Chain A
Amino acid sequence: MNFFTTKRVLILGVIVAAIVCLLPTFTNTWPHKKINLGLDLQGGMHLVLEVQNEEAVNAEIDRTISQLKLDLKNEKIQHMGIAKAADHKIIARISGADNRSSVENLLSDEYASLEIPSVKNIDGGISFTLRLPDKESNSIKKMATEQALETIRNRIDEFGVSEPDIRIQSDNRILLQLPGISDPERAKGLIGKTAQLTFQLVDEQGDVNTAIHGKPPVGDEILYQVKKNADTGNQTKTPFLIKKHVELDGSHLTNARVEFDQFQQPQVGIEFSRKGAKIFERITGANINKRLAIVLDKNVYSAPNIQDRISGGKAVITGHFTLEEATDLAIALRAGSLPAPVKIIEERTVGPTLGADSVRTGLLSMLVGGVLVVIFMVIYYKGAGLIADLALIVNIILIGGGLAVLGATLTLPGIAGIILTIGMAVDANVIIFERIREELRTGRSPKAAVDAGYDRATLTIMDANVTTFIAAIVLFQFGTGPIKGFAVTLMLGIVASLFTALILSKSIYDMILANKQSETLSI
């Protein structure tokens, strides 16, 4: 009889394909898709960040208020205060009732996107309530998340992690997976840094001590410079009375890099764009002999005295940095600031030693479990057991090939899924073999018994495995990283075991029985 029937060629093809797909994992060969190890096996950091989108909306409202004040001033309209209120509202109290139409014209011309829930007469004037529409605030939030994603991606790229996985997980959450990272805490610091850089003038007129014990003058705020003594580790905080007005911010930066001063202390040199350089020149020219504070995330880093108009668009941030701190700050500034603060709401870091241990124990379990099942099947079913064992080995090869070709990630629970599959995969064969035994007991010939056994068992096996597959699908949908890996291996295991039991082992039986008129069956 011809050995190479269509069915056998198909089976051999599947097995060869699986082996080919599996090889790149162990050697550097085509098709170059290997089984990826999850973070829990190779070490690394998994983070879920929550972007505080509401802060971005608040910032937008602040900008709107500032712009509105400027526009009113240009129109020569007096106001008694413009303040932020709850639910994305702005309360603008205008002096004099006779300005109503002018303000309304201004609002409809320049602020058409704002809602105006109410206009009321008050003592001395009119009170307008403005509101940022939900559509606008939702759009701002979405853009904040996307921009945060891009900024963080840029920072991670500079940090030098291989194959980072960075993506939006839900509307305001960002998922990061950083494999093989050696300094997770430094990475966290870099990721979480808002890096909002502003240049603000020091209020030379006001008295900082008076402001500390009372209320800062209108338009001023108190910010601190934090210095850490390298020897004692103690921190000292020096207060500054800073004008709230932002003269220049980080959006005009074109570059930032680590430099060293004359004492070899690390510092961060920054360069401005052409427009930024002009602004910087104007600011410094108008404020000679005053102090300009360099503020980063509401911390004063330095407040040098302006000696001359500074052209050329360059400046330096000093601050007793360590080299690492200066490097991280430069990276953060180059990548741009985060549009809103981010908070780490989930972290899972696995050290490389634990990952290696997990791989070792996982493989050991797999080996021991597999060997035990193989031995058991041979003892119980004799020759048929050997066929089942061969099917089991092919099963594992198919799972490995499937993982590689799908680019799926193997996790510790995924290894557990493979181990579980080793025990469950022989189930289909057990069902078939028990059926064959029953057929033999009714007096059928071996060939007839095999045929009938497979026929009757096929539907049962399909029914039984579909339900396990359903559970695996739900698991895949619900699960996070490692659990999802478990679901993947479980699903692959089910598909592979169906193939090996219903097609492969049947084919082997057909081959054996076709060659002789055997009176007995080793089962």
Chain B
Amino acid sequence: MQFIKPGTNIDFMGMRKVGFIFSLILILAGIVSLIIHNGPNYGIDFAGGTLVQVKFPQKVDVSDIRNGLDDIGLNDVSVQGFGDPAANEYLIRTSSDADTLGNQLADTVAKGLKDATSLAPDIRRVEMVGPQVGEDLKKKALLAIFYSLLFITIYISGRFEQKWTIAGITAGALMAAVYFLSVVNLSMPFLIAAALIVSLVLFWYLQLQYAIGAIVALIHDVTITVGIFSLLNLDFSLQIIAALLTIIGYSLNDTIIVFDRIRENIKGNSNNSMVSDLFNRSINETLSRTILTSLTTLVVLLALFLLGGEIIHNFAFAMIIGVVVGTYSSVFIASPIVFMAHRKN
């Protein structure tokens, strides 16, 4: 059984403009949404606040829950169903931290809800994140993504272009710059974005072709995933950061398979006029593996998405988007960019 027949020859290089346009549309839509919403829909991990997950033995009106919370002084509250409606679970969220209720938040909420609904709620989960912790986590999250991208860049430049030193020094300088500027309390998101742009310019100047291709693809994947979360107004939590970092690793895994084949085919062919065909052939030769790996990963992610429970739900969704977009970017973004960079030499 084979999805891709031997000898398949799709002209990916010729189609790269279509791919670029498609990607740009997705990226721009995401960025516009992020700007309109003033960033992703931060969960309490980053925004701070309090979250309580409760389960009732039978169906309850959201308005009753709200009334119960009102009675104990918790206004400014959002209440939403959580997971399967038949499970009678609700997520209560407030932007204030637990100080307003002292140390007895869960007991107070339980009592208030019991008074309002005449049913004894099961307090399944309580999360309270102070504002300072939220800020710390946000900063760490962005730095984690940035460092991950830089370390991967060093590795790719070393392995594929034998430029360990240049890549290492460049990445080190960028890390130092980001560190010192972050101490000066610049806005972290803009700082990271600026650092990434500077990275790309430097890589271009230093002719780290494979690094450019890989980094652009990864930025593309992360941006689209975050953008989709913003468009759908999904909760953005620590787990989503974990998903983004995993997507970075996964997408790169895919990209490297293609790069490795390109490198191998270049060695066997020194005729530069055949570069376009050479890139196309490399992609086609690895297409079967690319599709297969994505399929097996998507299978388990769908199982996780559909069966894994509500808490892990958004994580699985982020991973699914990431795997799909990552697979696409390995073929339509990373290699064409290396091809374009290669052609300029």
Give the B-binding residues of A (Cβ under 8 A). Answer: 40, 48, 50, 184-185, 188-189, 192, 343-351, 353-354, 357-358, 361-362, 364-366, 368-370, 372-373, 376-377, 379-381, 412-413, 415-416, 419-420, 422-424, 426-427, 430-431, 434, 437-438, 441, 456, 459-460, 463-472, 474-475, 477-480, 482-483, 486-487, 490
Contacts and interface: CB of A to CB of B under 8 A. Distances in A.
Majority secondary structure of chain B interface residues (helix, strand, loop or mixed): helix
B20 to A, nearest CB: 24
A362 B312 contact: yes
Contacts of B148: 470-471, 474-475
B103 A427 contact: no
Contacts of A361: 307-309, 312
Q: Which 6 A-B pairs have the closest CB atoms?
A: A471-B249, A369-B300, A345-B130, A468-B249, A478-B144, A369-B303
A424 B245 contact: no
B249 A420 contact: no
A204 B156 CA distance: 81
B253 A427 contact: yes
B208 to A, nearest CB: 15
A345 B132 contact: yes
23 contacts: A189-B104, A348-B128, A350-B125, A351-B123, A353-B122, A361-B312, A362-B309, A365-B303, A369-B303, A413-B315, A416-B304, A419-B300, A424-B293, A427-B297, A434-B289, A464-B256, A467-B252, A468-B253, A469-B249, A470-B249, A478-B143, A478-B144, A483-B242
A373 B292 CA distance: 11
Interface in B286-345: 286, 288-289, 292-293, 295-304, 307-309, 311-312, 315-316, 319
Nearest to B298: A423
Nearest to B252: A467
Q: Max chain A CB contacts within 10 Å: which of B127, B249, B289?
A: B249
B339 to A, nearest CB: 20
A468 B250 contact: yes
A144 B264 CA distance: 61
Nearest to B238: A483
A373 B308 CA distance: 17
B107 interface: yes
Interface in B126-155: 126-130, 132-133, 137, 140-141, 143-144, 147-148, 151-152, 155
Given A430-B289, A478-B144, A483-B239, A467 B256 contact: yes
B124 A468 contact: no
Given A413-B312, A416-B315, A424-B250, A345 B133 contact: yes
A471 B245 contact: yes
Contact of B304 (A365, A380, A431, A464): A365
Interface string B239-276: 10110011011101110110011001000000000000
Contacts of A376: 295-296, 299
B335 to A, nearest CB: 15
Contacts of A369: 299-304
B297 A353 contact: no
B239 A413 contact: yes
B55 interface: yes
Given A376-B299, A468-B250, A185 B107 contact: yes
B245 A430 contact: no
Nearest to B142: A478
B182 to A, nearest CB: 14
Contacts of B144: 474-475, 477-478
B196 interface: no
A342 B229 CA distance: 37
Given A358-B311, A475-B144, A373 B296 contact: yes
Size band of the interface chain B makes with A:
35 or more
Interface string B23-63: 00000000000000000000000000000010100000000
B98 interface: yes
A349 B297 contact: no
Contact of B126 (A349, A466, A487): A349
A185 B311 contact: no
Contacts of B303: 365-366, 368-369, 372, 419
B133 A419 contact: no
A373 B300 contact: yes
B105 interface: yes
B242 A470 contact: no
B103 A185 contact: yes
A469 to B, nearest CB: 8
A164 to B, nearest CB: 18
A412 B125 CA distance: 14
B242 A479 contact: yes
A43 to B, nearest CB: 9
A348 B127 CA distance: 4
Given A349-B125, A370-B300, A420-B246, 11 more contacts: A48-B133, A185-B105, A354-B125, A413-B315, A419-B300, A419-B304, A424-B253, A427-B296, A471-B248, A475-B245, A478-B241
Contacts of A343: 130
A419 B308 CA distance: 10
B106 interface: yes
Contacts of A431: 257, 289
A196 to B, nearest CB: 17
A464 B253 contact: yes
Contacts of A372: 299-300, 303
Nearest to A472: B249
B106 A365 contact: no
Nearest to A468: B249
Contacts of B256: 460, 463-464, 467
A357 B141 CA distance: 28
Given A354-B124, A434-B288, A365 B246 contact: no
A155 to B, nearest CB: 14
Interface in B204-253: 238-239, 241-242, 245-246, 248-250, 252-253
B104 to A, nearest CB: 5
A467 B296 contact: no
A53 to B, nearest CB: 14
A365 B151 CA distance: 32
A343 B319 CA distance: 36
A377 to B, nearest CB: 8
B238 A490 contact: no
A469 B249 CA distance: 7
A467 B242 contact: no
A465 B104 CA distance: 47
Contacts of B301: 369, 419-420, 423
Contacts of B316: 416
Contacts of B309: 357-358, 361-362, 412
Contacts of B124: 350-351, 353-354
Contacts of B245: 471-472, 474-475, 478
B159 interface: yes
Contacts of A188: 103
A412 B315 CA distance: 11
A480 B241 CA distance: 11
Quick one: which of A347, A381, A415, A482 has the most chain B CB within 10 A? A347
A479 B159 CA distance: 28
B129 A346 contact: yes
